[in-house]
Amino acid sequence: MRILSFLSLAFAMSSPLIAADLPKSEASTSSVAVVGGGCFWCVESTYKLIPGIKKLTSGYAGGKTKNPTYEDICTGDTGHAEVVKVEFDPAVLNYRKVIDLFFEMHDPTTVTKEDMIKHGKFLPKGTPYQGNDYGTQYRSIILYANEAEKKDAEAAKAAAQKDWKDPIATEIVKQTDFYPAEEYHQDFAKRNPFQGYVMGVVQPKTEKFKHKLEAKGEKVKEE
């Protein structure tokens, strides 16, 4: 359940291109990672700061329900997580770097936190949550396409553990079908800068990640 001031937005815009729609020369220079770390608006917004990121598509993966809608996802019963398909230039980034950044942009231990009262509801121990979002659809997850990606993801997870007191709870699972989210979810933060959740959650989280990158001397992409 996402805590929002409102979500009654709809946009009659054309669907974003998928890799197969790109010119052959451009599609051939793209690699892909699929990750989920809470609200996909946040994950998308933070990855946009990274040079070498070519395209980001918010969607649903990791569950069994075919062709889920956002309303289906919000029930928490589909098994899917909100994820982002990250298409990147392998000449600028490699898969391991994309995953290392993923562990830096969110708290991957949240499933292990103690019982707590949040937003007026009791969260049993073991309930995944991420900031203002709670439920299995917001769990931390990496979906790998092959054994090389699996090894990179596991190595990145092990390396990131030193930064966290609690155990990292990120799932690393075989990639299943990826379902793009509805058009109005794509590039949501940029298109809706004054929406309540964007102002209160996405923008501060993105700004915090930007400062973290700058403090490490890493380049940040300006739009």
- Residue pointed to by tokens 């770097």: 97
Let me know if residue 18 belongs to a domain. Answer: no
Top-ranked range on mean pLDDT: pick from 4-8, 13-17, 179-183: 179-183
Using pLDDT thresholds of 50, 70 and 90, give the confidence band for residue 110.
confident
Using pLDDT thresholds of 50, 70 and 90, give the confidence band for residue 93.
very high
Let me know if residue 223 belongs to a domain. Answer: no
Q: Give the separation between CA 39 and CA 130, rounded to whole angstroms.
A: 8
Task: Tell whether the model's pLDDT for residue 120 goes beyond 70.
Answer: no
Share of the chain above pLDDT 70, in %: 79
- Beta strand ranges found along the chain (DSSP E): 31-37, 53-61, 81-88, 116-118, 121-123, 129-130, 133-134, 140-144, 171-174, 179-180
Number of domains in the chain: 1
Let me know if residue 108 belongs to a domain. Answer: yes
Let me know if residue 53 belongs to a domain. Answer: yes
Using pLDDT thresholds of 50, 70 and 90, give the confidence band for residue 30.
confident
| 3-state SS assignment for residue 50 | coil
Q: Give the separation between CA 158 and CA 156, rounded to whole angstroms.
A: 5
Dihedral of CA 121/6/112/176: which sign? positive
Q: Which residue pairs from 109-117 have beta carbons closer than 8 angstroms and sit at least 24 positions apart in sequence?
A: 109/164, 109/165, 109/166, 109/167, 109/168, 109/169, 110/140, 110/169, 111/139, 111/140, 111/169, 112/166, 112/167, 112/169, 113/166
* Mean pLDDT, range 175-195, rounded to an integer: 96
Q: Which of 78, 77, 79, 35 is nearest to 57 (CA)?
A: 35
Containing structural domain, residue 64 = 26-215
Q: Quick one: pLDDT at residue 24?
A: 41
Share of the chain above pLDDT 90, in %: 69
Let me know if residue 20 belongs to a domain. Answer: no
Residue among 32, 35, 39, 61 flagged as catalytic: 39
Q: For residues 31 and 87, is the Cβ–Cβ distance under 8 A?
A: yes
Q: Quick one: pLDDT at residue 121?
A: 57
39 is catalytic: yes
The CATH number of whichever domain residue 118 belongs to comes to 3.30.1060.10
Let me know if residue 13 belongs to a domain. Answer: no
Let me know if residue 11 belongs to a domain. Answer: no
Q: What angle do CA 127, 172, 42 make, to 5 degrees?
A: 65
Q: For residues 198 and 41, is the Cβ–Cβ distance under 8 A?
A: yes
pLDDT digits (tens, 9 = 90+) for 54-70: 999 999 999 999 999 99
Task: Tell whether the model's pLDDT for residue 33 goes beyond 70.
Answer: yes
Let me know if residue 175 belongs to a domain. Answer: yes
Using pLDDT thresholds of 50, 70 and 90, give the confidence band for residue 7.
very low
Quickly count: other Cβ atoms within 10 Å of residue 78's Cβ: 20
Higher pLDDT, 28 or 167: 167
Q: Which residues fall within 8 angstroms of residue 15, CB to CB, at 6 or more apart?
A: 180, 183
- Residue pointed to by tokens 């090389």: 148
**Alpha helices for 86-220 (secondary structure H):** 95-105, 147-160, 188-191, 196-197, 203-215
